Amino acid sequence: MGIKVGIKVMIIDGQADFRSLLMHHVTTHWPDAIVSAYDPTTAGHLPDEFSGAGNDIVLLGNDQGGDREGIDTLRRYAQSPGFPALIYFGEDGEEKAAVKAGADAFIRRNAIRHDELIVGLSDILVARRRVASTSSLFSGDLETGIHPPIRGYRFLKKLSATEHSAVYLAERESADRKVALKVLRQDLEDESSIAAFERFLQEYEMIAEIDHPNIVRIYDLGVADDHSHIAMEYLEGGDLKARIETGMTEPEAVRCLGEIAGALGAIHETGILHRDLKPGNIMFRSDGSVALIDFGLAKRMRLKQEITGGGEIFGTPYYMSPEQGHGGDTDERADIYSLGVLFYEMLTGEKPYRADTAMGIIYKHAHAPLPLLKPCLSRYQALIDTMLAKKPQDRPSTAAEIEEWL
């Protein structure tokens, strides 16, 4: 089942026979399991501050000393931060209430089957331990010392985190230099983690090949048993999303367009598409210059098959070209379309297309009329029209054409 010996299980129920039955099921399959039992009807309810600490899983029966005490107790435990996995054993008609209250699983207490019980417990324990592994790397704070041990770097601050990766502000001890340290967890039992790990390494290889003033600089790559890291330039000026929210001047928007176009031209020349151009992936240095970051969805155009398979939709719907949104073939002109969306947003502070759903946005990119600029910005309308053309052949074929237009 993938679970090692020595798991810790706590059983809480008012019937001694039922507690013994659950203990028998657990120890039959896991002889070395550490099982504790608690009787709330004779010993009293556990205090509100009870956190379940030290246990891997809690088996909670509905006999807690009252008609609604079982569900109420379940809800209280489930709301406790960091509480172990909770399996609730109840009667017919309690399942919906138990799931709503926060149970990881519901089992009828008068219909327990050994194999189903053990499989269910194993699946929950495996899932919880994967989450805990991710949390230990990416969800803790630096004050508690929870972060991946990477030699040569002193962690200063966590900047962001996702399911598989996290970005930290760190200091490179050998060079006394602040860096953005992107760390990826690898779980060999999780196919999605392996795919993300492969994309992570591919991302480093692609960026490291490019030397351009408007592309983030890469300093170091490291690989360990359960994670890898990329040390890259720390960009202090924030991202384009924040700049747009505070409002950009026309000259600032035009300058950023030119710098982003230059960065796109550089990656396109090496046979790479970005495919996820959006305000959050464009950062500013302290001197105000733009740096393109996060090539996690990029691909080499010369590859016939992407490592994540064909026909999938990647990117952010607000910035997707019509062909990308519909899973079609893409080339440099898909990135140019995304850049057109960015330029419109930098000029106006608004996205050209909005809808209630992602598919609604994708539909508008393909079928809605081209967005119109205010009369005071009309000098850029022709550029917006050509960058946001519905058909790729009607757009500029290279980013250099945008720089020439400017």
Which phi and psi (to 5°) does residue 85 adopt?
-60, 140
Rounded to 10 deg, the angle between the 332-348 and 250-269 helix axes is 170
Full residue range of the structural domain in which residue 329 is found: 240-405
Whether residue 63 is contained in a domain is answered as: yes
State the CATH number of the domain containing residue 101: 3.40.50.2300
308: CATH: 1.10.510.10
As given in the structure block, the two tokens for residue 167 are 């970005």
Q: Are 254 and 349 in a shared domain?
A: yes
Same domain, 226 and 255: no
Amino acid letter, residue 177: R
Question: Is-contact 108 91, C-beta < 8 A?
Answer: yes
Tell me the backbone φ, ψ of residue 229, rounded to 5 degrees.
-145, 150
Last residue of one domain, picked from the residues 93, 118, 135: 135
308 and 167 within one domain: no
Q: Examine residue 16 and state whether it is found in any structural domain, yes or no.
A: yes
Burial 155-174 (b: 16+ CB within 10 A, else e): beebeebeebbbbbbbbbee
Total domain count, the chain: 3
d(CA 172, CA 221): 13
Last residue of a domain, one of 117, 135, 153: 135
Please say if 276 is a catalytic residue: yes
DSSP β-bridge partners for residue 182 = 167, 230
Is 60 contained in some domain?
yes
CA dist 175 to 152, 170, 220, 232, 266, Å?
A: 10, 12, 12, 13, 28
CA–CA distance, 204 with 183 (Å, rounded to integer): 12
Q: What tokens does 354 get?
A: 């909005």
249 and 378 assigned to the same domain: yes
Of the three residues 213, 233, 253, the one that is the final residue of a domain is 233
Residue 148 and residue 49 in one domain: no
User: Which residue among the candidates 13, 56, 63, 276 is catalytic per the annotation?
Assistant: 276
Count the neighbouring beta carbons within 10 Å of the beta carbon of residue 126. Answer: 14
Does any domain span residue 2? no
Domain match, 128 and 152 both? no
pLDDT tens over the chain, length 406 residues:
444 446 889 999 998 888 988 988 888 778 778 888 898 888 888 887 788 888 889 999 999 876 557 898 999 898 888 888 899 999 888 888 998 998 988 998 888 888 778 888 887 877 665 555 444 545 555 544 456 678 888 888 888 776 667 888 999 887 778 999 888 776 655 555 556 566 666 666 777 778 899 999 988 887 776 677 888 899 999 999 999 999 999 999 999 999 999 999 998 988 888 888 899 889 999 999 999 987 754 554 433 223 233 333 344 688 989 988 877 788 899 999 999 999 999 999 999 998 877 788 889 999 999 999 999 999 999 999 999 999 999 999 999 999 899 8
Tell me which residue of 31, 5, 10, 3 sits closest to 126, measured CA to CA. 3
Q: 41, 127 in Cβ contact below 8 A?
A: no
Q: Which amino acid is at 203?
A: E
CB atoms near residue 261 (< 10 Å): 26
Amino acid letter at 49?
E
φ/ψ (deg, to 5) at 153: -130, 140
- For residues 177 and 306, what is the distance between their CA atoms, to the nearest angstrom? 35
